[in-house]
Structure 1
Amino acid sequence: MNKQSSTFDGFFSECYLKYRVFIKNYIAIRICHPYEAEDLAQDVFVRLWEHRAFVNKDTVWSLLVTIARNLVTDKIRRYYKQEDFISYIYNNVEDRSRNTTEEAVQYDELEKLHHTVVENLPAKRRRIYELSFHHELSCPAIAGKLSLSPRTVECQLLLARKTVRTYLKNEFSKVG
């Protein structure tokens, strides 16, 4: 181990102890699931370690915040890029009369499973999900209609979609 590496190890430890809680809180208030903030905060410090050649005492703070902001942005982008499985199926099944009998049966089964999981959502979450899914309302529109904050709607919609996806994934993995 060389002297420069040893020096950075101590500096890195100091940074971790000094900024870990702040970075975790910074992330937690920006994402829907605060329990995921700990993992993302760890990722921030992993990236800092990976780029240790570019780190110095004067820039470490701004670098940590930049890395955290980029990880949060990436997480949010991934969420919005993941098209809701059910929405995709409903929106991309064109004329059902052109589909094979097997496809029609699978579609009906999927529709029933979707209905079952949606019915089991908590009432407010179900209402938000239905307004988004069936009426294609945006989060701000749903928030206005239900007198909720847009952030609450986003979080409830995220939870509902995750529940639906998880349920359907589990049901279809039993078949395959």
Structure 2
Amino acid sequence: MPSYNKCTDNELAGFLKSGDRLAYEEIYHRYKFILHNHAWNKFRNKQEAEDALQEVFTKLWDKRFLLEANVNLSGYLYASVRNYFLNFIARKDIQGRYVSHIQKFTEEQNVLTDHRIRENQLRELIEKEIESLPARMREVFEMSRKEHLTHKEIAARLGTSEETIKKQISSVLKIMRAKFGVIVYLAFLFHRY
């Protein structure tokens, strides 16, 4: 049985590759402080440095069979810490963008939902106002705005003059403008209701 603390890194890597736990423990004790310092310099956070170290040594054991014959063990371990750090940064960036996206989406959805609620409330108020119009005026207005008929078509359907239809629609628009303001008036005027 070899004295592991006197073995070279290449010898330890060879023993490790064959599944020797004692060689693994020697590598751990030989490099844990140096790698912890290296990880601390990257993360500037004790817990993150310890997590990096644990991950590096766990992967070393898990991938021991994949080690090259003449692996530079210290270079391999330093590169593992660096790669862990780069992956950590990439994950943090992705998480940050994801959280930002979720926040933005939530804010936009809240605005959109609020807009839809207000739109529905306004639509209900307008419907109530239309229902309170005199029957003939309501009928003319609905033919104009909901059925999209021209003044001439409405006049022909109701057997009245085109001028009468224009006056009734104009009266409805004045009522709506007085009740709901200019924006709703313009919506009615341009058939967007």
| TM-score, normalising length: structure 1 | 0.46
Pair member with larger Rg = 2
